[in-house]
Chain A
């Protein structure tokens, strides 16, 4: 369970986050959408303990201080260690925890199965496709079995087919592992397909603008009237932010 109370963040003179309050229940899948540059990555890094901030962030009711082993993180960038193989990347967190060899091997083997990456354990990241690299990055975050998974636009820059496939795989893994997931995306379609709840953030400084409960049976049909109508509503909220951004831009001229 993640709880944010009045979280704020300023870099230099620039306010990035303003009074962000939200909570994600255990086992819930929440998506955050917001205009680009609004502060989504910053928010996620605050939760992960990678940034300082004002306000309170609690993980399972306890005030968060620094890095928390309960949290796994998937970066917006292609962030695999280029000098380690797939196996080496998946093992990284386990090595830090000084897990015995046998246990590491078992975990890596099960992750390779889970992500359908068998046979690639000795490949280096540059030998993998973009989609596979994203899968390994998710596997690396899952290896230490964190309760919470923070994902920053993990499927951005992939083609639509790969993206749809990975979305389904993620839901399959979520069903299996019951992780709490906080997932950032630009893509409203992706948010509605994946999430139990979708939070729309305002333009910078980001704060919660609107919340949507997606009470649709999975696996969701992207063309069903219910799906399309929620999608429209969220898009409308999001577009307001872009329009205001543009308006303000003109006034600034």
Chain B
């Protein structure tokens, strides 16, 4: 299985190399060229600085989305009256997070808050709807089983509904984080202050016509997104051992 994956990556790199040689264009650098640029960015610490700024923005927006989306989703699942809110939610959800960029710029300028806001929008909906779904799909007989054992409403929420929805909640976090990461890079493609971040790195390189730096930046974005997804999956496996 593992050797399989390594082989596929190898084939991909070989095809890239061949195409790059055939195209012989300055805008399609060879894998070796991109690898060298990547290494230089890494060893100079530039990549790390850009990535750290991007991660900080994602973390801020993501935590905010978690702090608002999770409780709201749980409450909407638990109180039938709160569910009416879903009219608004369902109308806002189809708006792509990037469509919020102009408004974010008007409200928050082009700094940290503006980026964090876009990320918040991106991560908010999956976190909310997965929490809502988890709560709503808790089988009624589990709730009744708690009731006949004497549990109060708040005990049922804490000791039955929440743990039972936990896999769904975690799933929402994973999807939310993935979307947040994608939104971030797009948000960074627009104006920025301070001029840092992986999205900014790419845009700046484009202005300079440096396709190798663009690709190195893209690889960094892909690797970090991949790593975050894997990390959350591992966490899920660890925390939800009770699932078949």
Contact = CB atoms under 8 A, between A and B. Distances in A.
Interface stretch (B5-13, B142-150, B225-233): B142-150
A69 B150 contact: yes
Contacts of A92: 146, 149, 151, 159
Contacts of B163: 81, 83-84
Nearest to B150: A96
Interface in B114-161: 139, 141-142, 144-151, 155, 159-160
A50 interface: yes
A95 B141 CA distance: 19
B113 interface: no
B88 to A, nearest CB: 30
Nearest to A123: B242
Q: Which of B142, B144, B148, B149 has the most CB of A within 10 A?
A: B148
B150 to A, nearest CB: 5
Contacts of A126: 242-244
Interface string A50-89: 1000000000000000010101110101010111110000
B147 A50 contact: yes
A82 B139 CA distance: 11
A84 B159 CA distance: 10
Contacts of B241: 124
A97 interface: yes
A125 B145 CA distance: 15
B164 A81 contact: yes
Interface residues of B, number: 21
Interface in B149-205: 149-151, 155, 159-160, 163-164, 166
A45 to B, nearest CB: 8
Contacts of A125: 242
A83 B148 contact: no
Contact of A72 (B146, B148, B155, B242): B148
Interface string A29-62: 0000000000000000100111000000000000
A93 interface: yes
Given A75-B141, A77-B139, A83-B166, A96 B160 contact: no
21 contacts: A67-B147, A67-B150, A71-B148, A72-B148, A73-B145, A75-B141, A75-B144, A79-B144, A81-B164, A82-B164, A82-B243, A83-B166, A92-B151, A92-B159, A93-B150, A96-B150, A96-B151, A97-B150, A124-B242, A140-B145, A141-B148
Interface of B: 139, 141-142, 144-151, 155, 159-160, 163-164, 166, 241-244
Given A83-B163, A92-B149, A93-B150, 13 more contacts: A50-B147, A73-B148, A75-B144, A77-B141, A79-B139, A81-B163, A83-B166, A92-B146, A92-B151, A96-B150, A124-B241, A125-B242, A126-B244
The 10 closest A-B pairs by CB, nearest first: A93-B149, A126-B244, A73-B148, A83-B163, A124-B242, A96-B150, A79-B141, A83-B242, A79-B145, A77-B141
